[in-house]
Amino acid sequence: MKKFSLSRREALKRMGAVGVGAFLAAGGLPVYGNRSHGGQRVAVIGGGFGGATAAKYLKRLSPGLDVVLVEPQKRYYTCPFTNLYLGGMREFETLGHDYRELSRLGVRIVSQTAVDVDAEGRRLRLADGDSLSWDRLILSPGIDFRWGELEGYGREAADKAPHAWKPGPQSRLLRRQLLEMPDGGTFVLVAPDNPFRCPPGPYERVSMVAHYFKTHKPRSKVLLLDAKDNFSKQGLFLEGWKENYGDMIEWVGRSNDGRVVRVNADKLEVETEFGEIHRANVLNVVPPQKAGFIADRAGVTDESGWVPVQPRTFESKQVPGIYVIGDATQAAPMPKSGFVANTQAKVTARAILADLAGEEPPEPTWTNTCYSVIAPDWGITVAGVYEVHDGELREVPGSGGVSPMGAAADFRKREAAYAEAWYAAIAQDTWGSR
Amino acid sequence: MRLTTVAIAVAALAGALALTLRHAGADPSGEDIVPVSNDRASAIAMTCANCHGTDGRLESTGIPSIAGKPEIVLRSQLLAFQRDEYPGATVMPRLVKGYTEEELAAVARYFAALKPTPEEPSQQP
Amino acid sequence: MRKPRFSRFHFNLSIVVASAAWLFAAAAPAVAQRAPWERMEAAAKLLDVAAPKTDAIRLDLPAVTQDGSAVPLTVTIDHPMTADHYIESLHLFASGNPSPEVAEFSFSPLAGEARLSTRIRLDGTQNVIALARTNRGEWLAGAREVRVTVSGCLTQAGAFDGDDFMRTRVRAPNRLRRGEAAEIRTLINHPMETGLRKDADGQAVPERILTEFRARVAGQPVIHAKFHRAVAANPYLLFHVAPGQAGTLDLEWTEDTGKTATATAEIPAA
Ligand SMILES: Cc1cc2nc3c(=O)[nH]c(=O)nc-3n(C[C@H](O)[C@H](O)[C@H](O)COP(=O)(O)OP(=O)(O)OC[C@H]3O[C@@H](n4cnc5c(N)ncnc54)[C@H](O)[C@@H]3O)c2cc1C
């Protein structure tokens, strides 16, 4: 494998020397042949779904380009499938991916946090005080939480009532709490208003918790208190819950006083908008969110806390030369999903290469498929294809949509199997994991 | 089960044939066909990688590897998805409806031109 | 020192950007093209002055939303609410809906603050417009554009729990500081059928909405609302009662069928 990557890069370079624009190379990618981009540097902040994909595809599309990926973690754990881990369907370690394959491809990995960005000087500053210059910058920093916006839910509260909305110690803590919970207890999940990371995530999570309860603690209850009245794949979730878990899961929407306004993490209690108090044995709070802090430092966020971008390229609307992808962006109607971050990365990689070459960005196309696993044999999906129309992002009319209601067991079972297959595929496409 | 497979194969062949004929007929005039550049095809193909692996190559996950499959098969499958004529399909019909027939044909051509396994970077100019 | 100057630049830049956007929003429509309220017949008819004050109404709405069925809206009017000078009425419009009227509110000085929150329906990208009139006949106007994107990711539920039909909820503060207005939240379960929806058999579901809401404190009117079908299902309303108005708060909702629902809450003394 190692040898292949090298010889392939050689091959690509040689093709580049022919100098006739984009054409098909051994791997099938168009090589931006007449522009080696040699000596130019694109820095990418964040090695998650968006950033790792961007770094990989930049290098594949333009082997001569200097691509630097700034990411403090040596091993990245995915949010996708942490719910399956919570349900006991997956080992935590299987969710970890490293950067060795990207490094083999020629991406330079800098294992540090970027602490500041100087857009004018085209430099970024690292936690150790060093700085790094760039010609174009991609930010894919994911989300940060708005600590304290939900009264009583600050950083310390998360030690008792975990969010588990960024993977790692928080996921393990929540799993441990579930394991220690007595049968007959109540798991309460507090879901935020839009927009937030992974619209179907809270609903998949309660499904997986219910799966664990059904198989280990069958007298227990699941209560989902929601700040919304509508949620992703709602009909399919309600159907799946009923079929698989009877009335174990209770969902309370905003119009039935589901919006939580106060959290007491010590007592594991929450208070709703109209004053009802709910007590939990295990309390999982998904707090309100915003773009990762580095987006603020770079000056690309607006008053919403998210990043407005040019639809065609995902270049910041506020700071030229900085491109932002993934959860940090305002990209509605695209959801904040790993799948979308991956396809945004590819579009933006091409747009940057075109820009460096002084060309117009190519026509973009993005897709999404969010799998949710309701039970081991019960998967559902929502899909979408997106384009730019009249200068705005939109879903291509006639495309996309959710799995059918009332589908046969076999259909649900295949979508559950495809969910597992999808995970393996995107991990390979993003980090080169296998 | 076996019947379904046969049905798919027949539908696929019929679709492919129809398409071949149509294109053969339209080609001389140069009308009807909106040319889809290879660049565009590769842009669309990149969105496939998300489930079918980088360059459409996957090692045994349950989702088919598509690199190096015959163009006619890929194209007719994509078109069958688009026309809701692929029995038992799950997410593919919803995705391919985001693209034109010509784009799908170009994507089929694109993946067909790739090697199924990446061993040899064979084409060196 | 190789340490570059970070961030100050961005800080300045974003201020420039922000204020430029604000200037544009505030001034440009009046100069370059007619203001949104002038372009809408229903609003223009109401305005009996040429130039309403445009710097006192703030509309807080998400700039982009994927769920046009319930868009949170807060209207804040920077104006006194004293017995001799107060906001008497507030009219809300949505320029792109099948019928532009959203709701009208009349306030008494007992409302304490000319500020309320509710949730509205927006049928696509459009302007939300607010016109307010003082008891002295002055007009204030404000508008804000909202982009509504359609997404298959959000399926509209439409499911309505019959058991809870016209169930009311109200929340008043448990205690108040001196001089603090009481924030009142209300909610009533109602589908607010627009008459535009088709049922599973393709039959139009007839219009059935709540048309009125009244709040009184110690028998005195605080706020009186008229709802149109652009008020979101399960109407939510947050408003205020002026400082020093302890006593029983009586709420009443009226449906277009004449059916009513009531709720009460106690406002504590400061
Ligand atoms: C429970 C749950 C389930 C989910 N399930 C799915 C699913 O099934 N399918 C799906 O498609 N999506 C799913 N998602 C959503 C998915 O996790 C996100 O959409 C995705 O991670 C977004 O990618 P990103 O690149 O924007 O951010 P991330 O993947 O969060 O990556 C951000 C990276 O940037 C790094 N970083 C941040 N700041 C800095 C800095 N200043 N300097 C250097 N590095 C920095 C972080 O360490 C991190 O590694 C799920 C999310 C959750 C919470």
Choosing from A285, A306, A336, the residue where a domain stops is A285
Tell me which H or E stretch contains B44: helix B38-52
pLDDT at B25 over 70: no
* CB distance A237 to ligand 1 below 6 Å: no
Distance from C-alpha of A135 to C-alpha of A44, rounded to nearest angstrom: 11
Domain total in chain A? 2
Beta-carbon contacts of A379 under 8 Å, excluding residues fewer than 6 positions away, are: A371, A372, A373, A412, A413, A414, A415, A416, A417, A418, A419
Average of per-residue pLDDT across C84-100: 96
pLDDT > 50? residue B26: no
CA distance B76 to C3: 60
Does the Cβ of A165 fall within 6 Å of ligand 1? yes
Is the domain C8-148+169-267 a CATH 3.40.50.150 member? no
Question: Would the pLDDT of C77 be above 50?
Answer: yes
CA of A163 to the centre of ligand 1 (A): 14
Q: Which CATH class name applies to B2-26+36-112? A: mainly alpha
- Is residue A251 over pLDDT 60? yes
CA distance A269 to A257: 15
pLDDT class for C66, splitting at 50, 70, 90?
Answer: confident
**pLDDT tens figures, C155-173:** 444 545 567 899 999 999 9
List, for residues C98-149, the tens digit of each pLDDT value: 999 999 999 999 999 999 999 999 999 999 999 999 999 999 999 999 999 8
For position A209, what pLDDT does the model report? 98
pLDDT the model gives residue B115: 94
Helix (H, G, I), strand (E, B) or coil at A135: coil
Same domain assignment for residues A313 and A213: no
Phi, psi of C116 (to 5 degrees): -150, 160
Q: Is A422 on the interface with B (CB under 8 A)?
A: yes
Q: Distance between CA A274 and CA C185 in Å, rounded?
A: 8
Per-residue tokens: A427: 């991990």
Residue A263, pLDDT score: 98
Residue A20 has pLDDT above 80, yes or no: no
Ligand 1 atom nearest A115 alpha carbon: 41
pLDDT tens sequence across A157-196: 999 999 999 989 999 999 999 999 999 999 999 999 999 9
Burial class (CB in 10 A: 0-12, 13-18, 19+), C103: buried
CATH number for the domain spanning A222: value is 3.50.50.60
- The answer to whether residue A375 is domain-embedded is yes
Q: Which residue has the tokens 């505030």?
A: C26
Question: Which of A11-25, A51-65, A197-211, C232-246 has the weakest average pLDDT?
Answer: A11-25
Q: Residues A268-325: pLDDT tens digits?
A: 999 999 999 999 999 999 999 999 999 999 999 999 999 999 999 999 999 999 999 9
Domain ranges of chain B: 2-26+36-112
Residue-number span of the structural domain to which A336 is assigned: 6-145+289-431
Domain membership of residue A151 (yes or no) is: no
pLDDT at C270: 87
Domain finish residue from A262, A285, A308:
A285
Q: Is residue A8 within 8 Å of residue B121, measured between CB atoms?
A: yes
A341 CA to middle of ligand 1, Å? 8
Cα distance from N-terminal residue to C-terminal residue, chain A: 12
DSSP assigned state of C102: E
Residue C160: per-residue pLDDT:
54
Residue A302 lies in a domain: yes
Residues C39, A123: Cα–Cα separation, whole Å: 47
CA distance C137 to C115: 19
Residue A35: the pLDDT is 55
Q: In the predicted model, is pLDDT for residue C20 greater than 80?
A: no
Residue A334 predicted with pLDDT over 90: yes
* Per-residue pLDDT at A343 exceeds 90: yes
What ligand 1 atom has the least distance to the C-alpha of A78?
17
Residue A339 CA to residue A326 CA, distance in Å, equals 9
Closest Cα in chain A to B122: A26
Residue B35 at interface with chain A, using a CB cutoff of 8 Å: no
CA of A375 to the centre of ligand 1 (A): 24
Q: Is the pLDDT of residue A146 over 60?
A: yes
Domain presence at residue A203: yes
